[in-house]
Every structure is written in C-alpha cells, then in structure tokens.
C-alpha cells in the first residue's frame, strides 16, 4: 500500500515486531541486527494512524525500552521453549496485527481463521551452502526454519546482494519478494577512540601494543583454525623476542574442542590470549589498538565485524569471498580462507608496512560512511507498509 493510501485510511494500522532477539543481554549477529534496526526504526516518524507493538517474553531493557509516541511493548510470558511457535502464535491469532515482522527467521504458526502478512529477515544460507561447517542438529533446525520462513512470509528481507542471490539459487525464491537492506556499524560505539581510552582497555586485559585481533564465535564457520596456523607460521618466521600476540574474543562454537587441543599444542601458545565475551565498547578499543583485524570466515551473509573494525580505524584482513568484496570494496586486504601460509604473509606484510596500514585505515573509514542504520530502517519501513 502506498503512503498516500495509508494516510487516507481511518483504521489504525498495527505493526507487530518480534523484539525477543533485540532484548538479549549479550548480542551477537542476529540479536545486534534486531536491536540496531528497531532503534533506527524508532527515529522514523509514524503516520498518524500507525502504531507499533514490540513483543517479548520479558520486559524490554536498556535503550530498547525507551519508546517514542505510537510505540508500546507487550510482554507475553513463556517459561519453556517454543515461545514463537507456541505462545506468540496464540497471541497473534487473538490480536491480529496488520503485519508481523520477525528480524530473525523463526515464525509463528498461523491459524486458518487468523491470517495476517508476515515479513522476515533471512541473514544467510551457510547451512545449505556449507553444511560441513555446522553440527547436524543446528543444520537441520536452521534448514527447517528457513525453508518455512521463505514459504510463509509475504516479503523477505536479506542483508546483501550475495544473500539475495543465494535465496534465489538455493531456495528458488521469486526475486520480487526479496528486498536487500544492508547493515551498518554502530558508529557511536565503533569509532576511533582517544589513546587514553585505548590504554585503559589494554591495561584491563594486560595487553601490549602489538597484536592481531579475532572477534567472533570460535567455530568452524569462522575458520579460526586458519588464523591459528597462520599466526604460528608468522611467529616462527619472526624469531625469538617477537612481541606480537593473537587476541581471540568470543565464545566457543562447533568444532571448538579440536581448536582448543590445537592451541594447547602450539609452540607459541603463550602468545595466544583468549578473552571470551568482551563488551562492544572494549572490542572497539581493542580494534583501535590492533595491528589488524582478522576475519577469515568461510561463509557470511554480510560480515558486520568487518565494518565495525573499519569504523574503529583498524586495518582489515578478511577472507576472499564474494560478500566481503561487496561490503568492503577496496578497503580490505583479501586472503583466500583455505591457505594459512597466505594469511601468515598478510600478517607479516601489514605489520611491517605502516604506509599500507594507513591506506587501509583511510579507505575503511570512507567505506563505513556509505552504510547507515537509518537507511536500513527506511527500506524496512517501505517493505512493511507495502504489505499492509
């Protein structure tokens, strides 16, 4: 429906949004996307007859709970698994919205007597394209959820032209149903920081000024094994007394047991620093200090950490895969993900060439400015209004 038609109708238009992912205390991936998108959508003025309901099984917290005029929260308690498939299915059947938006891929059940349009975001199809990177249970669950999502939803949002092509090629989704809304770095958090701020964080984690940084789930998909092998080769070539460390931020994932055993056997294991979960503010400071940010993923739907590193003024070494070229343009040092020796050469090149680092930093800061959560929110609103 056009904006003119929306203005002309006298009936209130209700946009229901799943805020469960956005309301998680520790946000990665989909949770951060949902949070940033909802926050940006709040900045866009509603039409006079529009209102928004944010649904969650528990009370909204932090900035998410700050609701502008026309917005409200609705808590739908649920103490077991299956909140979306169970309790929310009933809630939406009893109180039908004009459209229901799910920023992740899990949808409610719709009863024949209670139809309403659904819009959902499909973030990536790695579990179809690279099943070897997922455990069997996750692969099966993600496959079922995604196939149902593309079958049920009126419109599908995805985060890159690459992911749009994957939806068409792998699931045969009609192109007219897909809208690309690219992501953006949170430049209030991920930005260039003062040396004092950076030094405080380095002191907090007892780090020096010579390190490479990896941030993400430590699993097969993120390809941490290649980083470990590359760092070992880099250190061996540098010889005794080399100050460089490899800092690993993130929780364990599929294949981590093997990687943990591998880390314990590495000759330079004392130069590995495993920090676990780290707040976004601290991650930004670490990115400011790192000699390079390493992102060797085998597969991504977008690759938001690349933008976050560039926004923090950190040179980026990332895997040579199509979506990274789409997102990062000429602002990254691209290396094939299957070659640890090529990664070792990249570490040596970037650590010994300050001019190259400077160029990547400048190019990265320029690329980041081309992305905006406000633009993402604007396109999302256009999709939601088109199905009312």
At 115 the pLDDT is 84
Helix (H, G, I), strand (E, B) or coil at 9: coil
Please count the other Cβ atoms lying within 10 Å of the Cβ belonging to residue 25. Answer: 7
- pLDDT at position 2 over 70: no
**pLDDT in the model for residue 119:** 97
Domain ranges of the chain: 3-184+373-386, 195-368
DSSP string over 103-122: SSS------TTS---EEEEE
**Cα three-residue angle 303-23-155, rounded to 5 degrees:** 60
Element (H, E) at 385: helix 373-386
What is the mean predicted confidence (pLDDT) over 147-173? 96
- Sequence-distant (6+) residues with CB within 8 A of 57 are 20, 75, 76, 77, 78, 83, 87
Give tens-digit pLDDT for 4-58. 466 555 678 999 999 999 999 888 889 999 999 999 999 999 999 999 999 999 9
In this predicted structure, the answer to whether residue 105 has a pLDDT above a threshold of 80 is: no
Cα 103–chain centre separation:
12
pLDDT higher than 70, residue 104:
yes
Can you point out the beta strands (E) in the chain?
Answer: 13-18, 50-56, 71-75, 99-102, 118-122, 155-158, 178-180, 211-215, 245-249, 272-276, 292-295, 316-319, 333-335
CA dist 227 and 187 (Å) reads 27
- Of 82, 23, 94, the residue nearest 55 (C-alpha): 23
* DSSP string for 72-98: EEEE----SS-TIIIIIHHHHHHS--S
Domain 195-368 has CATH 1.10.3720.10: no
Asked whether residue 230 carries a pLDDT value surpassing 80, the answer given is yes
CA distance 72 to 83: 20
In this structure, which CATH number among 3.40.640.10, 3.40.50.2300, 3.90.79.10, 3.40.50.2000 belongs to the domain 3-184+373-386? 3.40.50.2000
> Model pTM?
0.92
């Amino acid at each position: 429906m056009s904006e003119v038609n929306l203005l002309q109708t006298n009936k209130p238009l209700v946009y229901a949004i799943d805020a469960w992912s956005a309301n998680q205390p520790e946000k990665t991936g989909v949770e951060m996307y949902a949070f940033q998108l909802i926050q940006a959508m709040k900045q866009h003025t509603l039409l006079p007859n529009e209102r928004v309901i944010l649904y969650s099984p528990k009370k909204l917290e932090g900035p998410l709970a700050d609701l502008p005029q026309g917005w409200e929260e609705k808590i739908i308690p649920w103490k077991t698994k299956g909140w979306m498939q169970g309790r929310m299915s009933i809630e939406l059947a009893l109180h039908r919205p004009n459209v229901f938006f799910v920023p992740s891929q899990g949808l409610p059940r719709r009863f024949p007597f209670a139809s309403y349009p659904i819009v959902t975001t499909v973030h990536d199809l790695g579990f179809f394209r690279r099943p070897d990177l997922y455990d069997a249970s996750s692969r099966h669950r993600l496959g079922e959820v995604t196939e149902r999502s593309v079958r049920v939803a009126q419109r599908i949002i995805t985060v890159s032209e690459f992911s749009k092509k994957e939806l068409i090629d792998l699931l045969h989704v009609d192109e007219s149903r897909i809208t690309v809304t690219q992501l953006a770095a949170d430049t209030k958090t991920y930005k260039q920081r003062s040396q004092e701020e950076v030094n405080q964080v380095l002191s907090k984690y007892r780090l020096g000024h010579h390190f490479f940084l990896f941030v993400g789930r430590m699993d097969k998909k993120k390809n941490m094994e290649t980083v470990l092998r590359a760092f070992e080769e880099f250190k061996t070539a540098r010889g005794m007394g080399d100050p460089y460390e490899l800092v690993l931020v993130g929780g364990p994932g599929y294949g981590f047991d093997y990687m943990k055993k591998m880390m314990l056997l590495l000759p330079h294991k004392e130069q590995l620093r495993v920090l676990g979960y780290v707040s976004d503010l601290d991650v930004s400071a670490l990115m400011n200090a790192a000699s390079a940010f390493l992102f060797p993923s085998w597969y991504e739907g977008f690759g938001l950490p690349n933008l976050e590193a560039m926004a923090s003024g950190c040179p980026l070494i990332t895997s040579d895969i199509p979506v990274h070229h789409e997102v990062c343009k000429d602002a990254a040092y691209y290396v094939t993900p299957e070659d640890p020796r090529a990664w070792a050469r990249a570490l040596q090149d970037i650590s010994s060439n300050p001019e190259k680092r400077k160029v990547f930093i400048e190019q990265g800061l320029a690329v980041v400015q081309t992305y905006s959560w406000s633009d993402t929110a604007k396109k999302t609103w256009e999709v939601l209004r088109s199905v009312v």
